Amino acid sequence: MPSTLHLYAGNPEDVERAAQILRKGGLVAFPTETVYGLGANALDAGAVERIFAAKERPKWDPLIVHLSDAGQLAQLTQIAGPLEDRVTRLAEAFWPGPLTMLLPRTAACPAEVTAGRSTVGIRVPAHPVALALLQRVCLPIAAPSANRFGHVSPTTAQHVLDDLDGRIEAVLDGGAASVGVESTVVDPAQAPMLVYRAGAVGVRELADAAGVAAELFVPTPASLAGGRESLPSPGVGLRHYAPETPLVLTGPSPRALQEGASGALSRGERACLLLPVDWCLEIPMGWTAVPWGRWADPASLAAELFLALRAAEKTGADLILCALPEPGGLGDALRDRLLKAARSR
Ligand code: TXA
Ligand code: MG
């Protein structure tokens, strides 16, 4: 395939071009408020299969379908009984926004999208460019994060091109994603509701909005040993979001990061630090530091996490050192991504 078209969201003709490519079964990466997604017509099994090929994504990992409005749910999902009330409450509270709900699917949803599962992940994104594109195409759009499988998720159009240039028809550039980590994934049919991926919508916020308890799903070693197909959500427990350079995590303080640096130095290693801009640290000669948001402001850490990891892997350091935030709120999402990125190959 020739190199990927770089389209600009500020140009209405480019948005129309992106919509046309999607309607014809092509692949277009587009910005959402969380990360860039790699979109294809969710109703076209052939187009959906091309997403898996471009990303080198295994067939067992299902895709999230993006809608411009919750009113389109009936085409792809079958929601009845008490679940209906719960889904309505969650949709009213968090859509458009960074929440994906796993919902019983209809036959209109190709099995390729859901990896043969009986539920489909659905979200209405909050990014104006994503919404404009979805409205132009008038189709549900399946879109995983627009990175090569297992690599760091993309928060800019350049990140998408770094991973997928020549593999997809176009990227629609709408600037940097603001949230910076992927949507919260919840199964609202469980009691308590189960959160399979932490994101900007917190576990407590979900429970408050739905009026039902919610908790983070923690896989047991036995469930992980059972293989991807048997996990309730195959993204759980995966080595993922991983930079090319090994990532080493320290405790959540400048002192712990400094100690981690001293340890690496004594082993003769050269590290790149992910350094919160409100921390002051002595950086050894010949080392590098990549600025990473403000520790006191977890939203800024989330917004810049993937940007910082991608910048750090380009420095050529032996390892990346980073402090692991405390649990709770966005801390849950940051910990999830960092722990998965640090998992050994
Ligand atoms: O913020 C986001 O969610 C971004 C943007 C583009 O919307 N998308 C995204 O997609 O992160 P992806 O494919 O990289 O991650 C989707 C996660 C995967 O871990 C997948 O296993 C899980 O959601 N998932 C999707 N559909 C599912 C289903 N039917 N059942 C269980 N897990 C599902
Ligand atoms: Mg992904």
Q: Taking 90 as the threshold, does the pLDDT of residue 35 lie above it?
A: yes
Q: Which ligand 1 atom sits closest to the C-alpha of 182?
A: 1
The answer to whether the CB of 302 is under 6 A from ligand 1 is no
Instruction: Give the residues across from 28 on adjacent strands.
Output: 39, 170
Q: Which pLDDT score, from 0 to 100, does residue 225 have?
A: 79
What local confidence, expressed as pLDDT, does residue 240 receive? 79
**Number of other residues whose CB lies within 10 A of the CB of residue 12:** 10
Q: What percent of the chain has pLDDT over 90?
A: 91
On average, the pLDDT of the chain sits at 95
Tell me: pLDDT of 1 over 80: no
Q: Which helix (H) or strand (E) holds 256?
A: helix 254-266
Residue type at 70?
A
Is the CB of 184 inside a 6 Å radius of any atom of ligand 1? no
- What is the model's pLDDT at position 160? 98
For residue 256, report the distance from its CA to the centre of ligand 1, in Å: 33
Amino acid at 233: S
**pLDDT of amino acid 228:** 75
SS3 label, residue 271: strand
Q: Tell me: the pLDDT tens digits for 196-233?
A: 999 999 999 999 999 999 999 988 887 777 777 778 99
Q: What is the dihedral of CA 326, 329, 333, 334, to 10 degrees?
A: -40
Residue nearest to atom 7 of ligand 1 (CA): 37
Which pLDDT does position 227 carry in this prediction? 76
Residue 344 has pLDDT above 80, yes or no: no
CA of 37 to the centre of ligand 2 (A): 9
Q: How confident is the model at residue 236 (pLDDT cuts 50, 70, 90)?
A: confident
* Residue of 249, 251, 225, 252 lying closest to 237 (CA atoms): 225
Mutate to test the pocket of ligand 1, among 28, 122, 182, 306 (most ligand atoms within 8 A of CB): 182
For residue 193, list its beta bridge partners. Answer: 214
Please say if the pLDDT value at position 186 is more than 70. yes
Q: Which ligand minimizes its atom distance to the CA of 198? A: 1
Residue with tokens 């009986």: 118
Query: Is 70 exceeded by the pLDDT of residue 127?
Result: yes
To test the ligand 1 pocket, which listed residue (27, 100, 134) has its Cβ within 8 A of the most ligand atoms?
100
